[in-house]
């Protein structure tokens, strides 16, 4: 239970890193898109995700020894089971059988083949969500994009409930409602920024892309938790490394297609400043997305999704510091609501996690009691026979 609580707090710390990183990334992309007009959402997303391939460089020894390490775990378990059998002879034959089943399901890490297969599926979901979110900003307002992106928490909750990763209750639904109200208050109060005029067709495209991004985010965050369950079952660096590799190899033809159709031409940035900003943004993505995956596995998809809504108050602070923005009472009130919703949902998720851990411990205790009863009955039978 203590380990579970410690892991949860580490996950919350990871969420904080992701929030700060994504806010910083937003300011950098805002600088690139608006000031320098380098609107290449597909290319930027492609380069950012492909950079994950660098995770494979320091992990090559781990990849080489992946199967060896997993087999070593299995061998150690076999030795433990043999020792148990020798000590308990035929009296406690049930114990090693159950221990083997529990170990196989909960401790053994994924094989290299399983990790690569998971990366291949995940990379396309990851890319679609990130590209949709980035591209939507070229066709609709930031306010609309923010509101629609916030629906990812709703998708995460219901998809998680279907896959038995999340549980739905009144407190979580209340937390989501408070979060939505807070986000609407913030975006509606954001009247200082200059408005950009979009055609009706562009608004429909932009809003649709934002909604698609939110839906796919809910799918892949829940899919990751469902597939891995616990962070000890996978090497996150190797997983993300292959996500980057599959993106690098599999999506470059689309870049050529977009170039020749002139939808998004391949062009170098028009200044060294833009190049530096893109490199910094790629570095931030490289680190923050790793922390995001760890946070998902250490806490829950819903906690991370709602937690990322905290980018709003941090972005507000950034606007005040870097852009001399004057915030309204409605903006501050909305930011407070987002904080309250995160505290409410995180507390409920933490309770669910603790309850699950307690149930597991109680189940193990009950199992031990049953085994002890079997041993006592066996000893009594042997004694009577003599």
Tell whether the model's pLDDT for residue 354 goes beyond 60: no
Count other C-beta atoms under 10 Å from residue 79's C-beta: 10
Residue extents of the structural domains in the chain: 2-167+194-300
Length of the chain: 386
> Residues 261, 28, 320, CA angle at the centre, nearest 5°?
140
pLDDT at 99: 41
CB atoms within 10 A of CB 135: 22
- pLDDT bin (cut points 50, 70, 90) of residue 377 is low
**Contacts (Cβ under 8 Å, ≥6 apart) of 358:** 1
Predicted confidence at residue 254, as pLDDT, reads 94
Q: pLDDT per residue over 252-277, tens digit each? A: 999 999 999 988 888 888 888 888 88
Count the alpha carbons within 13 Å of 117 in the hemisphere toward its beta carbon.
7
Query: Using alpha carbons only, how large is the chain's radius of gyration in Å?
Result: 25
Say if residue 100's pLDDT is above 60.
Answer: no
CB neighbourhood size of 381 (10 A): 9
**Most confident of the following: 34-43, 106-115, 116-125, 306-315:** 116-125
State the angle between helix axes of 272-298 and 200-228 in degrees (0 to 180), rounded to the nearest 10. Answer: 40
Q: What is the pLDDT confidence band of residue 348, given thresholds at 50, 70 and 90? A: confident
Question: What whole-number distance in Å separates Cα of residue 146 and Cα of residue 136?
Answer: 10
Backbone angle region of 328, left / alpha / beta, with phi > 0 → left and psi within -120 to 50 → alpha: beta
pLDDT averaged over the chain? 74
């Amino acid at each position: 239970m203590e380990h579970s609580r410690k892991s949860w707090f580490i996950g919350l710390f990871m969420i904080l890193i992701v929030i700060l990183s994504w806010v910083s990334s937003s300011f950098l992309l805002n600088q690139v898109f608006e000031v320098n007009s380098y609107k290449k959402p597909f290319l930027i997303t492609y380069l950012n995700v492909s950079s994950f391939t660098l995770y494979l460089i320091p992990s090559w020894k781990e990849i080489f020894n992946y199967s060896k390490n997993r087999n070593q775990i299995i061998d150690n378990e076999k030795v433990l089971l043999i020792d148990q059998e020798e000590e308990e002879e035929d009296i406690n034959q049930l114990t090693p059988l159950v221990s083997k089943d529990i170990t196989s399901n909960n401790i053994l890490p994924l094989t290299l083949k399983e990790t690569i297969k998971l990366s291949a599926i995940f990379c396309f979901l990851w890319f679609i969500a990130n590209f949709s979110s980035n591209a939507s900003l070229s066709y609709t307002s930031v306010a609309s994009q923010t509101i629609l992106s916030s629906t990812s928490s709703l998708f995460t909750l219901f998809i998680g409930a279907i896959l038995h990763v999340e549980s739905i209750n009144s407190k979580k639904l209340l937390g989501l409602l408070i979060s939505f109200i807070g986000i609407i208050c913030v975006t509606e109060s954001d009247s200082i920024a200059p408005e950009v005029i979009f055609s009706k067709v562009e608004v429909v495209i932009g809003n649709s892309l934002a909604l698609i991004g939110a839906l796919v985010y809910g799918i892949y965050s829940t899919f990751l938790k469902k597939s891995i369950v616990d962070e000890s079952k996978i090497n996150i660096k190797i997983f993300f490394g292959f996500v980057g590799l599959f993106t690098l190899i599999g999506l470059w033809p689309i870049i050529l297609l977009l170039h020749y159709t002139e939808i998004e031409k391949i062009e170098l940035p028009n200044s060294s400043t833009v190049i530096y900003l893109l490199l910094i943004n790629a570095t931030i993505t490289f680190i923050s997305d790793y922390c995001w995956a760890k946070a998902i596995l250490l806490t829950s998809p819903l906690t991370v999704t709602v937690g990322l809504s905290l980018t709003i108050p941090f972005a507000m602070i950034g606007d005040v510091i870097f852009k001399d923005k004057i915030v309204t009472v409605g903006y501050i009130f909305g930011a407070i609501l987002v904080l309250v919703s995160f505290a409410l949902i995180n507390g409920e998720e933490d309770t669910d996690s603790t309850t699950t851990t307690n149930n597991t411990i109680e189940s193990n205790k009950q199992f031990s009691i049953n085994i002890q009863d079997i041993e006592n009955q066996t000893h009594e039978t042997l004694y009577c026979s003599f």
